[in-house]
Amino acid sequence: MNAPQRLPTFFLSHGGGPWPWMDGPMRQGYRLLEASLTGLPASLPARPKAVLMISAHWEEAAFTLQSSAAPGMVYDYGGFPPHTYRIVYPAPGAPELAARVAGLIKAGGLPAALDGQRGYDHGAFCTAYPMYPQADVPMVQLSLRRGLDPAEHLALGRLLAPLRDEGVLIIGSGFSFHNLRLLNEAGRAPSAAFDAWLQQALPDPAGRAERLMAWAQAPAARIAHPREEHLLPLMVAAGAAEGEAGHCNYLETEFFGAITTSSFRFG
C-alpha cells in the first residue's frame, strides 16, 4: 500500500458564532468564506485520515488535546437563536491521534496534556462543518498555550510536521482580523493594512518565522489583534510547513461591508 501523500497545512479565518447554521443576511455575508471552506477538501492531494484543529477558542497551561472518542459541544457564543445552542457536529474523536500528538510535543520539550471532557468549540465545528458536513472525518482539537508566545507556537508547529505524512490535516482556526469593536467602516483601513502585511509576510518561507515572531510591529497589528489568540493558530500552521511556500486561499475586502480578511495554505 502506498504511503499517504503529504498534506498541506492551513490557517483559516473561521467567522463568528454559529454562522453555518444561520439563514438570511448573516449567512449571505459569509458566502465567500463558505465557498473557500467547502472547496478546500477537493484541493487536497488525498482525503485526510483525521483533522488536527488548533482553535483560537481554547487556551491551557500546557498544549492540551481532546482525547474523547466522541467529543461533545461547547457553545462559546452568545445572543444567537435558540436552535444554535442545539447544534451537534458528531465527528468522531481520535484518542490514538491525541496520544500520538501529545508524545510528539513532549518529545520536543514542550508541555502537553490530554482532556477527555473537552468538546468542540465553534472555532472547530464552524470551520469543519462546511468542509465535511457529514462529520465523517475524525477530529482532534489542540489548545493554544497560555502566554500566547509566537515562538513557542511556531515550535509546536515544527513538532507536528510529521503528522502531515501520516494523513493528518493540520488546521489553525482563527481570524486574520479580530477586533470585534471595529467590524464596521472604522475597521476598513486597519484590516487592509494588516492583511497587506500578511500577504507579503507569508508566501516566502525564507525568514517567515522571524517575520511572524515580530508580527506586533506590522502595520495596524494591535488594532487588528488587540489580543492575539486569533492569530496564534497561524504560527502553528506555518511552523508545521517551515521551508514551504504559503498561498492565500481566501481573500475578501468587504467582509461585514468593510473588513479585509484572508486564509492561507502552506505547502
Tens of pLDDT, residues 212-232? 999 999 999 999 999 999 999
pLDDT at residue 3 greater than cutoff 50: yes
CA distance 252 to 266: 19
Return the pLDDT at 106: 98
What does the domain layout of the chain look like in residue ranges?
9-266
CA distance 179 to 187: 8
Architecture of domain 9-266: 3-Layer(aba) Sandwich (3.40)
pLDDT at residue 186 greater than cutoff 90: yes
Amino acid letter at 137?
V
Tens of pLDDT, residues 50-73? 999 999 999 999 999 999 999 999
What's the mean pLDDT in 118-131? Answer: 97
Tens of pLDDT, residues 141-166? 999 999 999 999 999 999 999 999 99
Tens of pLDDT, residues 33-48? 999 999 999 999 999 9
Could you tell me which of 57, 52, 54 has the C-alpha nearest to residue 18?
57
Q: What is the residue-averaged pLDDT of the chain?
A: 96
Return the pLDDT at 1: 44
Return the pLDDT at 15: 87
Return the pLDDT at 4: 66
Q: How long, in residues, is the chain?
A: 267
For the whole model, what pTM was predicted? 0.97
Quick check: 201 and 208 in contact, CB under 8 A? yes
Q: How confident is the model at residue 259 (pLDDT cuts 50, 70, 90)?
A: very high
Chain centroid offset of residue 40 CA: 13
